[in-house]
Amino acid sequence: MERTRETLSEETKILHAPAPISAAARWLSAVITAYDGSHRVDNSSRNCGRVIYHSQHLADRLLERILPHLPPGVITLDNAPDVTGQFPVVRKEKWKISRLAENLRFLKYGPGNYFRPHADDHFINDKAGEKSYLTMHL
């Protein structure tokens, strides 16, 4: 489908419609998850506002929109120890993007805000047999 200014404008409206984010939204200080599983504000690594919004529908729409633009090596992780660790490589596992997680985090940066380099942990959904290996930032 060729994208025109009109279709992009309509797509933007559709993607924004379910998100309760506005200038009046309450942007709380973004927290980090520590190695022990606790959550806390840590301004040495991150200083910005955050709104968390849960919507599998919106996550599905975002994936549909970006998937054609992702390189094959991101869509399917095969022999990627820097991302998956060694065990999936040894077991000759291939991990393919199945969905984006429904717990979407919208970050807001003002003057002087930052998000320093860091490493994300995996999110494991045992019920669905899923494990996250990548974090997507738009």
- Structural domain boundaries of the chain? 5-16+25-131
The DSSP result for 24-59, as a single string, is: TS--EEPPEE-TTS-EE--TTTEE-EEEEEE-HHHH
Print pLDDT tens along the chain (138 aa): 555 555 556 666 655 555 556 555 678 888 888 888 888 999 988 999 988 888 899 899 999 999 999 999 999 999 999 988 899 999 999 999 999 988 888 888 899 999 888 777 778 888 888 888 888 877
Instruction: Provide the pLDDT for residue 19.
Output: 53
Instruction: Provide the pLDDT for residue 72.
Output: 94
Cβ neighbours of 57 (radius 10 Å):
9
User: How many separate helices (H) and strands (E) can be counted in the chain?
Assistant: 5, 11
